[in-house]
């Protein structure tokens, strides 16, 4: 666990950290996903039957809010859960974007624990403060809002079961104005009970091209159903996170604080993996690669500063089997002084400011998008990612980072890539700068707002046409 030093800053710096903590929600609404495309410049695409593109004009920052047409519109947001994971946090960000233009926004969480959950309470309070109404999922008020809403946004595939539980006999009135936002890449989400209504909704919005194509193929082959009009919308970094990423003083202060708390010197090289600890995120394989990289450095007698690894997203209180495996491996390989565990947190910016390289090691089909990737690029960090999922659309291999295979086959390539970046400072810095330039071109909040606005306009138009028919 990270050691939190006391009195680490002189008084004049404390105001800066206080400000950064206040911004923590906006910075972490991307913790996953939680946030580019390969070398292509497609800003917005609709995947239909057959595939066709909608050409978008170049997206530039303007004083006009692209979502202003949503003013006074009633939008119902339905999430399968409320947690610190990518899907719910991203939907919350959409709620705040809509509220900023005067839309009336209601929120429903389908799965909630019976007891008091501090995380859920805190997130609900943040929404209430921003004017988002939080409704009981099965209440009459929820049904009423579903019927009178101008648009319903269903978040994640799992949320599909809400349709059969709450609107029930009113489903035909809800589907024509329903936008289904899908983030999943795992095969076990392809259940007919979840997605049987998918062909009849107004549209599906998916975070990456590879995920959209996967859903199109899988629904046809396995479930014998067709996707509706499917919009690929890449994510963007929040304005608050970019402010910190572009503030050299803030980054220096945060770097000093985090490195001191971890016991890492300024000249040491720090690799980070920032994801909820689970086998699918690949922390176990990351540790194996890290150990192998140390062996390579020692075997080749390379002259490099001390190399460290930090795993952000741990949960020691959960005491899961996987978490225990990770800690046991560190002890077995005598890496206690080199590997640092940090509990999952909303405040990821300090760690991005403190580290030298981000490792995105998600396994199987990879991340749907992986928003932490574009956050790291905003902080001018090179990214070592698995060649799978949305990461292949964000990281330009050899330019903004390096890709390696998923699974055990990727352990040695990742280790070699870690050694390469540890020993070539200029390569590390150049990749980081190019990643930042890519973010500025494609992955800012106004980019994402424009892309979402295009989808919402089309869904609203189609919904009106259906109501008039």
pLDDT of 427-462, one tens digit each? 999 999 999 999 999 999 999 999 999 999 999 988
The reply to whether CATH 3.40.50.2000 applies to domain 68-236+448-467 is yes
Res. 105: pLDDT tops 60: yes
Tell whether domain 239-442 is in CATH 1.20.1250.20.
no
Say if residue 268 is exposed, middle or buried (CB neighbours under 10 Å; 0-12, 13-18, 19+). Answer: middle
Selection from 103, 158, 159 nearest residue 130 by Cα: 103
Beginning with the edge strand found earlier in the chain, give each strand of the sheet holding 339-343 in spatial order.
Answer: 339-343, 307-314, 269-274, 357-360, 383-386, 401-404
Highest mean pLDDT of the ranges 12-16, 136-140, 251-255, 343-347: 251-255
The answer on pLDDT for 50 being more than 50 is no
Query: Is the confidence at residue 56, as pLDDT, over 60?
Result: no
Mean local confidence (pLDDT), 72-92: 91
The string of pLDDT tens digits covering residues 310-323 is: 999 988 777 799 99
Residue 118 pLDDT level (bands cut at 50, 70, 90): confident
Mean of pLDDT over the chain: 86
DSSP 206-260: ES-HHHHHHHHHHIIIII-----SEEE----B-HHHHHHHT-HHHHHHHHHHHHH
Contact 241, 378 (CB under 8 A): yes
Least confident of 37-41, 178-182, 341-345, 412-416: 37-41
Quick: pLDDT tens for 188-201.
677 888 899 999 99
Q: What per-residue confidence (pLDDT) applies to 52?
A: 34
Based on DSSP, count helices (H) and strands (E) in the chain, helices before strands: 19, 14
Average pLDDT of the segment spanning 9-29: 44
User: With 90 as the cut, is the pLDDT of residue 2 above it?
Assistant: no
Q: Tokens standing for 111?
A: 């799965």
For residue 48, the model assigns a pLDDT of 43
Q: Cβ(70)–Cβ(456) under 8 Å?
A: yes
What percent of the chain is predicted at pLDDT more than 90? 68
Cis, bond preceding 50 (omega within 30 deg of 0): yes
Q: What pLDDT shows up at residue 23?
A: 47
Return the pLDDT at 18.
46
Indicate the DSSP class of residue 1.
-
Return d(Cα 23, Cα 450) in angstroms, integer.
23
**CA dihedral sign of residues 7, 9, 15, 17:** negative
Position 79 confidence tier, pLDDT thresholds 50, 70, 90 = very high
Question: What pLDDT, on the 0 to 100 scale, is given for residue 165?
Answer: 84
Return residue ranges of the chain for CATH 3.40.50.2000.
Answer: 68-236+448-467, 239-442
**Residue in this structure with the two tokens 């919009």, named with its chain if needed:** 231
Structure tokens at 385: 């990612």
**CA-based nearest residue to 352, from 251, 430, 264:** 251
What pLDDT is attached to residue 60? Answer: 53
Please give the structure tokens belonging to residue 176: 């024509």
Residues 420, 402: Cα–Cα separation, whole Å: 10
In the prediction, which pLDDT does 347 show?
A: 86
d(CA 456, CA 462): 10
Average pLDDT over residues 21-26: 44
- How far apart, in whole angstroms, are the C-alpha atoms of residue 67 and residue 51? 26
Residue 176 confidence (pLDDT) = 95
Structure tokens at 352: 């991005």
Give the residue from 188, 128, 180, 175 showing the smallest Cα distance to 147.
175
- Highest mean pLDDT among 31-40, 118-127, 203-212 belongs to 203-212
Of 25-34, 87-96, 193-202, where does mean pLDDT reach its minimum? 25-34
Determine the average pLDDT of the residues in 281-300: 97
Is pLDDT above 70 for 46? no
CA pair distance 340, 343, nearest whole angstrom: 10
d(CA 106, CA 194): 22
Instruction: Decide if 184 contacts 368 (C-beta within 8 A).
Output: yes
Residue 226 has pLDDT above 60, yes or no: yes
DSSP 3-state of 133: strand
- CA dist 419 and 462 (Å) reads 53
């Amino acid at each position: 666990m990270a050691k939190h030093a006391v009195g680490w800053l002189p008084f004049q710096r404390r105001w800066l950290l206080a400000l950064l903590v206040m911004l923590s929600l906006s910075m972490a609404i991307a913790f996953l996903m939680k946030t580019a495309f390969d070398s292509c410049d497609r800003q917005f695409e609709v995947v239909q039957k057959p595939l066709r593109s909608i050409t978008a004009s170049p997206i530039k920052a303007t004083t006009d809010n692209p979502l202003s047409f949503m003013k006074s519109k009633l939008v119902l947001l339905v999430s399968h859960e409320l947690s610190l994971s990518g899907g719910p946090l991203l939907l919350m960000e959409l709620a705040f974007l809509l509220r900023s233009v005067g839309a009336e926004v209601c929120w429903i969480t389908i799965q909630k624990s019976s007891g008091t959950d501090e995380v859920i309470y805190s997130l609900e309070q943040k929404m209430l403060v921003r004017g988002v109404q939080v409704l009981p999922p099965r209440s009459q008020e929820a049904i009423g809002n579903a019927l009178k809403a101008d648009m319903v946004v269903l978040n994640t595939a799992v949320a599909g079961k809400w349709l059969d539980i709450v609107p029930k006999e009113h489903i035909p009135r809800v589907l024509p104005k329903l936008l289904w936002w899908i983030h999943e890449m795992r095969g076990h989400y392809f259940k007919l009970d979840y997605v049987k209504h998918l062909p009849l909704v107004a549209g599906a919005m998916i975070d990456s091209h590879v995920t959209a194509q996967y859903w199109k193929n899988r629904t046809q082959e396995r479930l014998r159903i067709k996707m509706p009009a499917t919009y690929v919308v890449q994510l963007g970094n929040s304005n608050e996170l970019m402010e910190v990423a572009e503030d050299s003083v803030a980054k220096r202060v945060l770097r000093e604080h985090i490195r001191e708390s971890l016991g890492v010197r300024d000249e040491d090289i720090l690799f980070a993996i920032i994801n909820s600890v689970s086998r699918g995120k690949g922390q176990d394989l990351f540790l194996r690669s890290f150990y192998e990289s140390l062996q390579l450095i020692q075997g080749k007698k390379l002259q490099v500063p001390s190399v460290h690894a930090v795993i952000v997203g741990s949960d020691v209180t959960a005491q899961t089997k996987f978490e225990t495996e990770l800690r046991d491996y560190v002890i077995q390989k005598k890496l206690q002084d080199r590997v640092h565990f940090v509990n999952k947190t909303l405040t990821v910016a300090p760690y991005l400011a403190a580290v030298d390289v981000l490792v995105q090691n998600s396994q199987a089909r990879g991340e749907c998008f992986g928003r932490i990737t574009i956050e790291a690029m905003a902080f001018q960090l090179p990214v070592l990612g698995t060649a799978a999922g949305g990461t292949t659309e964000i990281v330009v291999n050899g330019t903004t980072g390096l890709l390696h295979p998923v699974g055990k086959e990727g352990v040695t390539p990742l280790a070699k890539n870690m050694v390469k970046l540890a020993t070539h400072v200029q390569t590390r810095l150049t990749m980081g700068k190019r990643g930042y330039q890519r973010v500025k071109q494609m992955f800012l909040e106004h980019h994402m707002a424009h892309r979402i606005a295009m989808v919402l306009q089309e869904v609203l138009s189609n919904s009106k046409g259906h109501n008039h028919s």
